[in-house]
Structure 1
Amino acid sequence: MDGTIQENPISTHGGCHQITFIEDPGSFSYDSFFHNHLVLNAPCLFSAKFTESWGSRKNWVTADKKPDWDHLLQNYGGAVVPVANCDVKEYNSNPKDQIPLREYICYWRDYSERRRRQPDQGCRYLKDWHMLREFPDHDVYNTPEYFSSDWLNEYWDAIDGDDYRFVYMGPAGSWTPFHADVFRSYSWSANICGRKKWLLFPPGQEEHLRDHRGSLAYDVTSPLLQDLRLYPKSHLRCLAIEVIQEAGQVIFVPSGWHHQVHNLEDTISINHNWVNGCNVAVMWRFLQAELEAIHVEIGEWRETMDDWDAHCQVIMKSCTGIDYTEFYVFLKMIAENRLRDLQRAPADATPGGSCTMRPAGHHTMRPGGPQHNVFDINKVLEVLTLMTRNEDFQKLDKESLSPPPRDLMKRLQVVIAEHTET
C-alpha cells in the first residue's frame, strides 16, 4: 500500500477498532462506504489513486513532491489567511493571526530551508483557510462521491454563509492539538503533498483524557498524562490508532472521534467537515450538551434575567455557530430539498422500478438517488421527533418556526409511507 497504518488494537468492551485501507477506486462503491463507514462510524484511509486527477496535486506540488511556493504565490499571494502559532497555547488551542499568504509563504520557505525556528514567530501553521469560497473557479479538487452527501455545506452554500471546506499548509513540526470536529461532524482530509501522523481515539475515550479539573488534554503525547494526580483516568485510556498519511491519501475521520495531528514534512491538505443522515442525530446530541453546559455556566442568573432561555440560545449561537432555531431551519431545508428531488426523479434506478425502500440491509445507496433521498427524509423526521420532545426546543418562539414542526413532520411521514414497502 502507499501508506503505513499502525493498527494498534483499541479494546473497548472486548472489541477492537482498526482502520481500513481502501486501495482501488474501481472496486470500492459508495454503497460500501455508506454501510461500512458512515453508518458504522468507522475510520478508513483511501489510497492516493483517489486524488491523482486533482489540479492541486499537479499544480501545487513541484517535481520533487514539495510545495510549489512560486505557484501558490503567483495565484493566491494576496489572499488573507488565518495562521496559528503552534508554540502558544490559548484555551486548549492556538491563537491565530490574519496575514497575506505571501507573508506566510515567505516565513514557511525560510523556516523549511533553514530548519530553524524564528525566535519571534514560533512554528506557524496556516489553518482553516476557506480557499474554495475565495477561488471557486480554480481547478483545485473534486469532492469524492463518498463524501458528497454533505448537509452542512449544502445548507451554508444556500444561505451564502460560511462553509466547512478548508485548506491547511504548514512545515514539519506544525500540529493540531487534541480535539473533536465542529458539531461532532464527520471530516475528510486529503494530503496534497507531505505526510501527517494522526492519533485517533473512538468516542468515549476522551473522558479518560481529561485532567482533574475536567479539561480535555491539550497534547496526548505529553508525559504529563502519566501523572495520575493531573489525569486521574489516563490509565484507563486505550491506545490511539496511529495513521501515517502519505501524499495523495485521504483519511475519513468519523463523528466524535477525537484526534491529534502532526505534520511530519512540509504539508498541504484539503479538509471538509460534514453532516448527513448518518450522523445528524450525533449533531443534535452535541447541541443539547452545549446548551446544557451554558445552562450550568449562567445558571445563577436564571431567576433574575429576563428571557434567560433566549439568552442561552444567543450564547450558544455565538459559541457553536448555530442555535436551536437555525438547526430547525437547517433540517427543514434538507427535507424540502429531498422532497423536491423525489418529485423530480420518482423512479428507482432499476428499469420500471418504483422509489420504495427495500427491507433494511438490502437497498443500494447512491448519492442523490431515490433510496438516499428517502433515507435522508427519514433521518430528518427522527431528529425532528426528538426535538419536539425537548423542553428547551418547546420554549422557542413559535413564530420563528415556519412551517410549524408538527406540520413538517406530518408531511415527511406521508412521503415515507408512500415510499416504504410493507
Structure 2
Amino acid sequence: MKHEWLERDNIVRRKGNSVDEFMLGFETPNKPILLEGCLDKWPALKKWDRDYLVEVCGDNRFAVGPAQMTLTDYFVYSDQAQEERPLYLFDPKFANKVPQLGQDYEVPDYFNEDLFSVFGDERPDYRWIIVGLAGSGSSFHIDPNSTSAWNAVVKGSKKFPLDVVPPGMYPSSDGAEVACPVSITEWFMNFYESTKTWKKKPVECVCKAGEVIFVPNGWWHLVINLEDSIAITQNFVSRRNLLNVLDFFYIVYKEKGGVKILKFLFSL
C-alpha cells in the first residue's frame, strides 16, 4: 500500500484502562478504540505462526471464501496468489474443529459480557479465526445483527478505516449486503483521497500484533492485511448495545424468527 494511505492514525489508543473506563468512555457512547497490552497473556501471541498452525491443524479444512480448504493448501495458495482480490481464511467453527486453537486465547476482560451466549449452540456465528496474505481483507461492512466486535491481531498488521457512510459503496437498507464496485485497493486509489476533505474525518489506524480494536455496532469499516496476518475476531452483545440489537431483530427478522429471539431476550 502507498505510504500516504497509512499515515492517518487518529484512533484513540489506550493501555491499562479499567473495564469501567472502557464501558463509560467508549462502549456506552459507541466510540472505537485501540487497546494495547490486553493480549499479553495469550498463548497464541507466542505460539501462533505458520509453522505452528500447520503442525496443529494443517490437514483440517477451513472456510476460505465460498469453499473449504485445508490450511496447508491455503498456505500453498497464498504463496502463489497474485490476484487483486486474494482469498483469506475466515472460519467460524475453528475452535470446534481444533480445540487447541480455542484454548490458545481468551476473551479480553473488556468484552466478557456477551448476552448471546445464552443461546448456547444455537447462537449465530460469533467468532472467527482469520488468516490472510498481504492485500487480502474485508471490504466495507457493518457487523451482523447490530453487534459490536473486537479484532485481535496475533501476527502481522491490519489497516482499519472506519467511516459512517463510505464513498463508493452502495449498502442495502439494513446494511447486511453491500454492492462494492471495486476491490479494496481500487477503493483506496479512487476514493480514499476524497475522505481528506470531509468535515468529519474517518477514524483510522494500523492494528499491529498484540493490539485489539473495538468496532462499535453500526460502524462501517474496512480491513486490509498489510502483511501476512493471523487474527481472532468476535462479535458480541452487551447491555450497552442490547437495544440496538433488539431494534435490528424486530425490523429485519420479525418474519424470520426474530420475534422468538426478542421474546427470549426480554425474558432474561
Pairing 1:22-421 to 2, within 5 Å after superposition: 22-23=14-15, 25=16, 28-47=17-36, 49-60=37-48, 68-84=49-65, 96-108=66-78, 110-111=79-80, 117=82, 123-138=86-101, 139-152=103-116, 154-157=117-120, 159=121, 161-202=123-164, 205=165, 211=170, 216=178, 218=180, 220-221=187-188, 223=190, 238-291=200-253, 313=255, 316-317=256-257, 323-332=258-267, 335=268
Decide whether aligned partners of structure 1 residues 180 and 165 sit closer, same or farther in structure 2, where only a CA change above 3 A counts.
Answer: same
Amino acid at match of 2:29: L
Write the distance in 2 (CA, Å) between the matches of 1:169 and 1:181: 19
Write the distance in 2 (CA, Å) between the matches of 1:127 and 1:212: 22
Deviation at 1:78? 2.5
Amino acid at match of 1:143: V
| Structure 1: tracts of 5 or more residues without a match | 8-18, 61-67, 85-95, 228-234, 292-311, 318-322, 336-422
TM-score, normalization: structure 2? 0.82
Write the distance in 2 (CA, Å) between the matches of 1:37 and 1:254: 9
More strand by share: 2
SS of residue in 1 equivalent to 2:138 = strand
Residue equivalent to 1:358:
none
Greater RCO between the two (CA within 8 Å, min separation 6)? 2
SS of residue in 2 equivalent to 1:51 = coil
Decide whether aligned partners of structure 1 residues 80 and 289 sit closer, same or farther in structure 2, where only a CA change above 3 A counts.
Answer: same
Deviation at 1:238? 4.3
SS of residue in 2 equivalent to 1:124 = coil
Alignment size in residue pairs: 252
Indicate if the aligned counterparts of 2:146 and 2:218 stay in contact, CA closer than 8 A: yes
SS of residue in 2 equivalent to 1:75 = helix
Indicate if the aligned counterparts of 2:34 and 2:213 stay in contact, CA closer than 8 A: yes
The structure having more radius of gyration, on CA atoms, is 1
Deviation at 1:328? 1.9
Indicate if the aligned counterparts of 2:171 and 2:178 stay in contact, CA closer than 8 A: no
Write the distance in 2 (CA, Å) between the matches of 1:277 and 1:212: 27
Decide whether aligned partners of structure 1 residues 75 and 216 sit closer, same or farther in structure 2, where only a CA change above 3 A counts.
Answer: closer
Amino acid at match of 1:51: L
Indicate if the aligned counterparts of 2:168 and 2:191 stay in contact, CA closer than 8 A: no
Write the distance in 1 (CA, Å) between the matches of 2:113 and 2:172: 39
Decide whether aligned partners of structure 1 residues 106 and 273 sit closer, same or farther in structure 2, where only a CA change above 3 A counts.
Answer: same
Amino acid at match of 2:47: N
More helix by share: 1
Amino acid at match of 2:62: V
Query: For 1:274-329, what per-residue CA distance to the aligned partner results, in whole angstroms no more than 9, with x for missing partners?
Result: 011111111122223325xxxxxxxxxxxxxxxxxxxx72xx35xxxxx2112322
SS of residue in 2 equivalent to 1:74 = helix
Write the distance in 2 (CA, Å) between the matches of 1:257 and 1:70: 35
Write the distance in 1 (CA, Å) between the matches of 2:70 and 2:159: 28
Deviation at 1:163? 3.9
Write the distance in 2 (CA, Å) between the matches of 1:45 and 1:132: 25
Indicate if the aligned counterparts of 1:4 and 1:245 stay in contact, CA closer than 8 A: no
Query: For 1:205-239, what per-residue CA distance to the aligned partner results, in whole angstroms no more than 9, with x for missing partners?
Result: 35x76559988452553627999xxxxxxx97843
Decide whether aligned partners of structure 1 residues 330 and 80 sit closer, same or farther in structure 2, where only a CA change above 3 A counts.
Answer: farther
Deviation at 1:37? 1.1
Write the distance in 2 (CA, Å) between the matches of 1:209 and 1:118: 21
Deviation at 1:128? 3.3
Query: For 1:381-406, what per-residue CA distance to the aligned partner results, in whole angstroms no more than 9, with x for missing partners?
Result: xxxxxxxxxxxxxxxxxxxxxxxxxx
| Structure 2: tracts of 5 or more residues without a match | 1-5
Amino acid at match of 2:44: S
